[in-house]
Structure formats: C-alpha cells, structure tokens
Structure 1
C-alpha cells in the first residue's frame, strides 16, 4: 500500500466518525446540551485532522504527477 492509499483509508475512517459525531451532537441537542457540545467538539477536532490529511494527499498528488 502506498502513501496515498493509506491517506485515503484514514480519510474515509475519519469522515465516517465525523458524520457519526455530528449526528450524535444533533440528536443530543434537545436532551443534553453538554453531551451535544462534547460530541461537536470531538467532531471539530476530527475535521481538523481531515483537513491536514487532505493537504498531505494534495502534496502527494503533486509529487506523483
């Protein structure tokens, strides 16, 4: 497996987890605002990691072309 495949797999896993956390935050919004905030915070941290991986994937594509 090369670096781009590894990055893509990580992006897919993080993206799925991000969507789960955002849905969880939305569902908790009416019942428990503290849990909603925690889920949203974790989702934002994952989004930051996703953005860094997108940057790395972009750099790898430039090198391979």
Structure 2
C-alpha cells in the first residue's frame, strides 16, 4: 500500500477571531522561545485574516466544519 500525504495549512482552519486567538496561544506555548516559529504562526494568521476579509467572514463551500 502506498501512502500519500498532503500539505497541512493551518490557516485553512482559522475561521474566526476566536480560532485565531486559540491558535496564537497554542503557538506561543509550543514555540519555546523560537522567534521563527512565532513568525510562521503570525504569517498563517495574516493569511487566515485576509481570507476571512475576502470572504466576508463566510466560509467557502470547500471548507467544512467537521475538522476542529
């Protein structure tokens, strides 16, 4: 059996400001003082916020609420 993998983009699952807040808290806890880790997390938050702005805070049909 051949395993296939896809890239994980956490910004796709940040659908509300509350989601973003929890993500940033978890990122801070995980970072262990690594500024590159925090920078990457902030980049994902920026991407998520831009997507939310474009969509008018409405999830697209391709997004599902099954994964949280």
Which bin holds the TM-score, normalised by the shorter protein? 0.3 to 0.5
Question: What TM-score results when the alignment is normalised by the length of structure 2?
Answer: 0.46
Looking at CA atoms only, which structure, 1 or 2, has the larger radius of gyration? Answer: 1
Question: 1 or 2, which has the higher helix percentage?
Answer: 1
Question: What TM-score results when the alignment is normalised by the length of structure 1?
Answer: 0.48
